[in-house]
C-alpha cells in the first residue's frame, strides 16, 4: 500500500478530488499555504494499492497542468514602503502543476 501526498493549487483541488473520486480513489484534503506566489494550496492525501499509484498520478497531472499566470511585482522603497501601484511590474510565472510524494505504508486500518 502507498500514501500519495499531492500538493496542488487550491483552485485545482476540487476538480482533482472529483476526478479521483470518480475513478474510485478516496481522498482527504488539507488546506495549506506556501510557495512562491503565497497562495492557498490543497494537500491531498490518497491511500491506494501499489499498482494504482500511476493511475492516481496521471489523474493529478491531467487536472493540474502547468500554465502561465501574470503576477504584479510591487516595487518598494529602501524603507520597505510600497511605491505607486501604477509602477507595478507584470511578471509571467508558471502556475499549476503539483508536487507529489509517494510513501510506503507499513500498516493500514480502518476502524
pLDDT for position 8: 92
pLDDT tens digits, 21-73 = 999 999 999 998 876 656 788 999 999 999 999 999 999 999 887 666 677 67
Classify residue 111 by burial, with Cβ atoms within 10 Å: 0-12, 13-18, 19+: exposed
pLDDT for position 57: 96
pLDDT for position 81: 64
Between 90 and 78, the higher pLDDT residue: 90
Q: How much of the chain, in percent, has pLDDT values that exceed 70? A: 73
Q: Which letter does DSSP use for residue 78 in this model?
A: T
Cell of 109: 486500518
Where are the extended beta strands (E) located within the chain? 2-9, 27-34, 39-48, 67-73, 89-95, 98-104
Determine if the pTM surpasses 0.75.
Answer: no
pLDDT for position 109: 87
Residue 3 · residue 47 · CB < 8 Å: yes
Q: Whole-angstrom Cα distance, residue 53 to residue 9?
A: 20
pLDDT for position 52: 98
pLDDT for position 69: 67
pLDDT for position 3: 98
Q: Whole-angstrom Cα distance, residue 31 to residue 42?
A: 5
Q: Calculate the CA 3 to chain-centre distance.
A: 16
Instruction: Give the pLDDT band of residue 17 (cuts 50, 70, 90).
Output: very high
Amino acid at each position: 500500500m502507498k500514501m500519495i501526498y499531492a500538493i496542488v493549487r487550491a483552485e485545482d483541488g476540487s476538480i482533482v478530488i472529483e476526478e479521483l473520486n470518480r475513478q474510485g480513489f478516496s481522498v482527504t484534503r488539507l488546506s495549506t499555504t506556501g510557495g512562491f506566489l503565497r497562495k492557498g494550496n490543497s494537500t491531498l492525501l490518497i491511500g491506494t494499492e501499489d499498482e494504482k499509484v500511476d493511475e492516481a498520478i496521471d489523474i493529478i497531472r491531467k487536472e493540474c497542468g502547468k500554465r502561465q499566470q501574470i503576477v504584479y511585482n510591487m516595487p518598494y522603497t529602501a524603507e520597505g514602503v510600497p511605491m505607486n501601484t501604477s509602477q507595478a511590474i507584470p511578471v509571467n510565472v508558471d502556475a499549476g502543476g503539483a508536487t507529489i510524494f509517494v510513501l510506503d505504508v507499513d500498516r493500514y486500518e480502518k476502524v
